[in-house]
Structure 1
Amino acid sequence: MSEPRWLDEREARVWRSYVGLKLHLEAELERRLVRDGGLSSAEFTLLVPLSETPGGLLRARDLGRMVGWERSRISHQVARMEKRGLVVREECPEDARGSMVRLTEAGRAAIVAAAPSHVEAVRSLFFDAIADDELDVMAGAFERVLDRLPCDVG
């Protein structure tokens, strides 16, 4: 077994900053979503692709792939959202074993109400702290890291 490639001080600083950023940014975005829109981040995560799909209808497994969630997580979250009237499940016409998830009018109203304050939070907490000339550098770095990761999330 080879010697580990330990992080140098600069790499450790970047890594600790990333871990802290991820933790605190996600927590603050969740707090604001609940406060301003009455939605959890999990609900918002599923409502976005549903609201962007014609007819607001997606196969559950496709929705799971889109957000990187496993089947059981999708199933449990959709069940919670059904109880709140945000979505309904329907039978899949092509496969009796599959199910479809449809955005309800209440779900559409919830995402429409929550989106403006959410995008403002993303802008104020993240993008306003980044200089314009840093955006392309960051995008390139993030894309290179993403390209190294397995694409089979969920």
Structure 2
Amino acid sequence: MTTPTPRWLSEDELRAWLRLLAVVELLPGVLDSQLRRDSSFTHFEYQTLAMLSESGDRTLQMSALADRTNATLPRLSHVITRLADRGLVERRACPQDGRATNVALTDAGWDAVVEAAPGHVATARASVIDALTPEQITQVAEISEAVLGRLDPDGRMTGTLA
């Protein structure tokens, strides 16, 4: 049995790859630091609350929320417990599936997301968006969609790709 010859990255591909990896590594820390400082949330906690706030009735089934946050159910359950202890979310029985659990954003959770959002958006803008031209914004969106088509072909995280 022969091993296929690797398709090594060209110089331009390697440059793009290494810079993408650097962004992927650095950006979560920047977002997390701002949220911890200004809102007492981790980035993952904020993302969890934001996904709930964007759902129609501010409620998602745990499995759907896990998909949208790219979390395992045990990790998400732990975070939901912390958020519930703070009065930001509630666990509820799922009326459509007795085996499933829904998570609902409380009014206090909604208020917390609304309060945290401006600082989070300002950090996203200062760290990424304002560094790009309008044409580059379009390119980043197109590039991200192409890559997500490979990494998340069912659109679980975005809820929009298929």
TM-score between both structures, scaled by the size of structure 2: 0.86
Q: Partners of 1:65 and 1:22 in 2: how far apart? A: 19
- Asked if residue 80 in structure 1 is aligned to residue 93 in structure 2, the reply is no
Deviation at 1:149, TM superposition (A): 2.5
Runs of at least 5 residues in structure 2 that lack an aligned partner in the other structure: 158-162
Q: Partners of 2:22 and 2:67 in 1: how far apart? A: 27
Corresponding residue of 1:97: 99
Moved more, 138-147 or 43-52: 138-147
Q: Partners of 1:145 and 1:14 in 2: how far apart? A: 13
Deviation at 1:109, TM superposition (A): 1.5
Q: Partners of 1:114 and 1:66 in 2: how far apart? A: 19
Corresponding residue of 1:60: 62
1:4-153 matches, cutoff 5 A: 4-151=6-153
Deviation at 1:129, TM superposition (A): 0.7
4+ residue runs of structure 1 moved beyond 3 angstroms? 150-154
Matching residue's letter, 2:123: A
1 or 2 for the larger relative contact order (CA 8 Å, sep ≥6)? 1
TM-score between both structures, scaled by the size of structure 1: 0.90
Deviation at 1:121, TM superposition (A): 0.6
Deviation at 1:148, TM superposition (A): 2.2
Deviation at 1:91, TM superposition (A): 1.3
- Count of residues in Structure 1 that have an aligned counterpart in Structure 2: 154
Deviation at 1:150, TM superposition (A): 4.4
Deviation at 1:4, TM superposition (A): 0.7
Deviation at 1:36, TM superposition (A): 1.3
Q: Partners of 2:95 and 2:23 in 1: how far apart? A: 43
Identity %: 36
Deviation at 1:65, TM superposition (A): 2.2
Matching residue's letter, 1:119: V
Q: Partners of 2:150 and 2:60 in 1: how far apart? A: 28
Runs of at least 5 residues in structure 1 that lack an aligned partner in the other structure: none
Deviation at 1:16, TM superposition (A): 1.1
